[in-house]
Amino acid sequence: MIEMHDVWKTYADGTEALRGISIKVNPGDFVYVVGPSGAGKSTFMKLMYREERPTKGQIFVNGFNLERLKQRKIPYVRRNIGVIFQDYRLLPKLTVFENVAFAMEVIETPKRTIKRRVMEVLDLVKLKEKAGSLPTQLSGGEQQRVAIARAIVNNPAVIIADEPTGNLDPETSWGIMKLLEEINLRGATIVMATHNKEIVNTMRKRVIAIENGRIARDEQRGEYGYED
């Protein structure tokens, strides 16, 4: 599902963010990515959704070699990866419905299909009643649920979540966590970077720890392992 073979990333200013990462994530896995600030977690995530390119090494997602991808295949690969950010990144002038629909419009889905599917995912994230609201009219937790709806609307095989609970209080974070767990149980592979020690230590899923651009731990029922 996701594989990295000896992946290195050096930014233009010379910062070595990743230094020889090799991992394999299987279909249906739920993986936490932990580590100190500046360790390379975001870079690791960005490489998977092709926001950044590696300096060296190979990355495979959903069977595609991201480093040998023809330009015209990129939208197809992106459609099969849902991305969730700490700061939600909703379009502020669009309603909840429109924010979610947008992800389907860009791949030219028929209007009727869009309507049905958007309401289906808004129902899943319990926001059907807010379909006509603007993002500013929602709480942080609700905005993140819209972002999750947007991420899953095209039924991607892989969900990449970079600190999705980073701006949320503990109760709201648990709500988001339960939602991601449900999405995982419905078949999506989820890779989630987090600083939420309580969540990682309660859920006991696979934990990949990155320190100094290298894999420091990779455990099937891992723990957070840091004091922050």
Under the binding rule (CB under 6 A), the answer on residue 63 touching ligand ADP is: no
Query: Given candidates 129, 171, 227, 228, which one binds ligand ADP under the rule CB under 6 A?
Result: 171
CA 130, chain centre distance (Å): 23
Pick the closer one to ligand ADP by CB: 38 or 132: 38
Q: How far is the CB of 14 from ligand ADP (least distance, A)?
A: 8
Q: Any residues with CB less than 8 A from the CB of 21 and at least 6 apart, and which?
A: 4, 6, 7, 8, 40, 44, 57, 210, 213, 214, 215
Query: Is residue 64 a contact point for ligand ADP (CB under 6 A)?
Result: no
- In this structure, what token pair is assigned to residue 170? 């503990």
Rg of the chain, C-alpha, whole Å: 17
Nearest to 26 by CA among 50, 43, 1, 8: 1
Q: Which of 21, 31, 41, 95 is the binder for ligand ADP (CB under 6 A)?
A: 41
Is there binding between residue 129 and ligand ADP (CB under 6 A)? no
Query: β-pairing, 81-85 with 158-162?
Result: parallel
Among 111, 178, 186, 204, binds ligand ADP (CB under 6 A): 178
Binding flag, residue 54, ligand ADP (CB under 6 A):
no
> Among residues 64, 175, 181, 212, which is the contact residue for ligand ADP, using CB under 6 A?
175
Beta-carbon contacts of residue 4 (< 8 Å; ≥ 6 apart):
21, 22, 23, 47, 57, 58, 59, 60
Answer yes or no whether residue 200 interacts with ligand ADP by CB under 6 A: no
Chosen residue from 2, 21, 39, 209 binding ligand ADP by CB under 6 A:
39
Q: Which residues bind ligand ADP (CB under 6 A)?
A: 11, 13, 15, 17, 35, 37-43, 171, 174-175, 178, 202
